[in-house]
Amino acid sequence: MDKIRRMKKPDWALMIGLILLSLTLMGWNLTRPQGGQAVVLLGSSVLRIIDLSIDSVYIIQGKISPVTLAVKCNSISVIESDCPLKLCVHRGAVKRTGESIICLPNNLAVYIKKGKYRGVDAAAG
C-alpha cells in the first residue's frame, strides 16, 4: 500500500490514460453498424460467407474439430466446438461490423462484414 501512495503523477496518468483508451476503443466498437454477412476464415482463407438474415445452423470443419455456428436474428454465434477452453462458445453472439469470434485451436475466425449478402458467387470473386 505504501507503494500506491508513493506512485508519481505520471504513473497515475499512464494507468488512467490506458484505461480511458481501452474504454474509448470498446465504446467505439459498440457504435459500429450491424453487418449483413459473416465471413468464416480457416487460417487466412475464406471458407464461406454466411447470410445473417436467414436463421440457420452451419457445421464447419475446423482444424481439430467440427464447429457448429448458429445464425439467429441477424447475429451469429458458435454453439459447439471441441476446443479445450471453449472461448469461441463463451464469446456469444456477434452482429456488428468488424466483430469477430475466433477459435485459435481450430484456426477458425468468423467476422462480420458490412453490406448485403450477395450469394455464393460473390464469395468466390
Partner 1 sequence: MRQPVSINGILKVRRLTIIPLLSAGGAVIFVFESMIPQPLPFAKLGLSNIAPLIALYIFGLPEALAVGWLRIIIGGLFSGSLFSPAFILGFSGSGAAVLTMYAGLLLGRERLSPVGVSVLGAAGHNIAQVITAGLLFVGHHALWNILPFMLLFAAFTGAFVGIIAWEILERMKLID
Cα 11 to the chain's mean position, in Å?
Answer: 33
Nearest-angstrom CA–CA distance, 104 and 99: 16
Contact stretch for partner 1 (CB under 8 A) within 66-74, 75-83, 94-102, 117-125: 94-102
Say whether residue 22 binds partner 1 (CB under 8 A): yes
Closest listed residue to residue 56, CA positions, set 38, 35, 34: 38
Question: Does residue 50 contact residue 116 with C-beta atoms inside 8 Å?
Answer: no
Say whether residue 120 binds partner 1 (CB under 8 A): no
Say whether residue 14 binds partner 1 (CB under 8 A): yes
Give φ, ψ of 66 to 5 degrees: -70, 145
Min CB(93)–partner 1 separation in Å: 14
By CB under 8 A, the residues from 51 to 70 that bind partner 1 are none
Length of the chain in residues, anyone?
A: 125
Binding site for partner 1 (CB under 8 A): 3-4, 6-8, 10-11, 14-15, 18-19, 21-23, 25-26, 29, 41, 43-44, 85, 87, 98-100, 102, 104, 107, 109, 111
